[in-house]
Chains A and B, each alone.
Chain A
């Protein structure tokens, strides 16, 4: 085992250590440490990706010196490494572009605490990507819930408090369901580690004992994780949380954390239960229809918003719908498309939240559309970035969103008649709806403002922020142009994954 095999473990440990150390640091030092840690995690994850591309299969890493049933284990493959690289890249760029305006929302005294929460969130995301143990996954689900709630409530106003309380309550309900599911699964199989679990589940399935408890377990865990990632009928907490939290927290929450739950769900389907049993339980159909409903309803609700940040938040609900639709197709191509959509949405959504904040702040902090007229001229960089990421959301060619939709559509072709038609129609309708509200916003930020309105003098935006936003924008465009290699990694990774 070479040094590079240890990198995923290092990334997790590094984030946790940084969280501990940050608690005694001054705000300025805390800020730089958090930036440094996310950069190091990005580099190490990229190195892991390169390593796994050379390996033929994924490998398990023993934590501590105890073998699997006693010690803890993480498992690393191409897919995990790719996702870790993507998410840490998005996080790093979000931090660079977002940290400078955090003093508007967090008092100087509490800034270090905010940085701790970012570190812990990153650590939990990494653990959820790599872990091979269901109970470890549960513990880190809880840690990420606390961290993300804290990321939201740093902003001290009534709306944010109410939104955060709602968020916490919904997440607690979901955690309860997941925990009960895991307890039941442990009860019928006697394992928590994923490989022995899968063997035991197969045995149970073949003998036909405990068929009903198994279905209940699948339902509990799926619904729990669906609530946490804001799938359509369970999305009620999402729009307020995203709209009233600090923009950087919304970017992290919507761009990274909600995806980590979905990745865990994919892991649960592939590695714990097995996809053939999932198909038998018909939970994939449930996710499929919820996803389709979310794509349409999320966009419809986004259209009816008059506040730009709520609109962006509702579009998250629609985009998560795409991911679940791909997942619900229960085919290799569908899941691969869903994973690609996760990456594309992650890159574009964080940009969207950050550039929205810039546009709003040059318009006197008014979030209504009519006061945003001309914002694209007052802050040129944010205008361009918003336009490109909105194009990715709509699915204009040469952006990540277009390719994701293309893969989703082509994954639907081999499906049976009704489902295929439904996917294609839903994709067409939701693209149209997306175009309605995003292009309307783009047009309104480039509209000439009324002459008698006085805007506050544009505040200075540091150059590195503009640079970070543009790098991230290039990432979105790259996902649209150079999607071939990434898709090949996802597909070969999925084969390793099972």
Chain B
């Protein structure tokens, strides 16, 4: 078990980081910390993907010096997936930051629980 975890050290670290990010996004009350958690979580997934596509001793799939056999290069698909994933997480970070700015302007705090409480009081009045 430990041996297997050690052999796949990148994936192990990636899953642990994913867990950390997930918990921060879920449980932290501060919105900025939540956003940081989101980024840790998605970066962990990229590490997972990228380490899967890497084959030891091979090069990035860019043709130089006329070498075209696939055997010399690493698997390019996960790298492509990581690029797509980065675009997605950038746009989500932007969206979350925009929401955070709006909430902060309105309530002058970043604590989501306090904000929810204030929003509820608004309705009662």
By a beta-carbon cutoff of 8 Å, the part of chain A in contact with chain B is 135, 139, 142, 145-146, 149, 153, 157-159, 161-162, 164-166, 168-169, 172-173, 175-176, 179-180, 183-184, 186-187, 192
B106 lies within 8 A of A161 (CB): yes
Are A161 and B99 in contact (CB-based, < 8 A)? yes
CB of A162 within 8 A of CB of B95, answer no
Check A168–B96 contact: CB distance below 8 A: yes
B38 touches A165 (CB 8 A): no
Do B99 and A168 have beta carbons less than 8 Å apart? yes
Indicate the size class of the contact surface on chain B.
35 or more
Choice from A142, A153, A161, A183 contacting B52 with Cβ under 8 Å = A183
Chain B 84-125 interface mask (CB, 8 Å, partner A; 1/0): 110010011001100110110011000010011011001100
From A159, A173, A180, A184, contact of B123 by CB (8 A)? A159
Per-residue interface assignment for chain B, residues 23 to 37, with 1 indicating a CB less than 8 Å from any chain A CB and 0 otherwise: 001100001001000
Task: For B78, give its contact among A153, A161, A165, A186 (CB under 8 Å).
Answer: A186
Q: Are B88 and A183 in contact (CB under 8 A)?
A: no
| Residue of A146, A161, A179, A184 touching B102 (CB-CB under 8 A) | A161
Given A172-B38, A176-B18, A180-B48, A165 contacting B122 (CB threshold 8 A): no
B75: nearest chain-A partner, CB-CB = A190
Looking at the assembled complex, report how far the CB atom of A120 sits from the nearest CB atom of chain B, in whole angstroms: 12
- Residue B74 at the chain A interface, CB threshold 8 Å: no
| Residues of B in contact with A (beta carbons under 8 Å apart) | 11, 15, 18, 21-22, 25-26, 31, 34, 38, 41-42, 45, 48-49, 52, 77-78, 81, 84-85, 88, 91-92, 95-96, 99-100, 102-103, 106-107, 112, 115-116, 118-119, 122-123
Whether the Cβ atoms of B99 and A180 lie closer than 8 Å is no
- B residues within 8 A CB of A145? 92
Which listed residue, B26, B95, B112, touches A146 by the CB 8 Å rule?
A: B95
CB pair B25–A169 under 8 Å, yes or no, is: yes
Q: How far is the CA of A166 from the CA of B31 in the complex (A)?
A: 11
- Residues in A whose Cβ lies below 8 Å from that of B107: 158
- Contact residue among B21, B100, B106 (Cβ-Cβ distance under 8 Å from A158): B106
Query: Which 8 residue pairs across A and B have the least CB separation, nearest first?
Result: A158-B119, A142-B88, A187-B52, A162-B119, A176-B41, A159-B119, A183-B49, A165-B99
Q: List 13 A-B contacts (CB under 8 A).
A: A139-B84, A142-B92, A146-B95, A158-B106, A158-B119, A159-B122, A165-B99, A166-B112, A168-B96, A172-B25, A179-B85, A183-B49, A183-B78
Q: Are B22 and A176 in contact (CB under 8 A)?
A: yes
Residues of A within 8 Å of B48, CB to CB, are 180, 183-184, 187
Q: Is the pair B99, A146 in contact by a Cβ cutoff of 8 Å?
A: no
Are A186 and B95 neighbours in the complex by a CB distance under 8 Å?
no
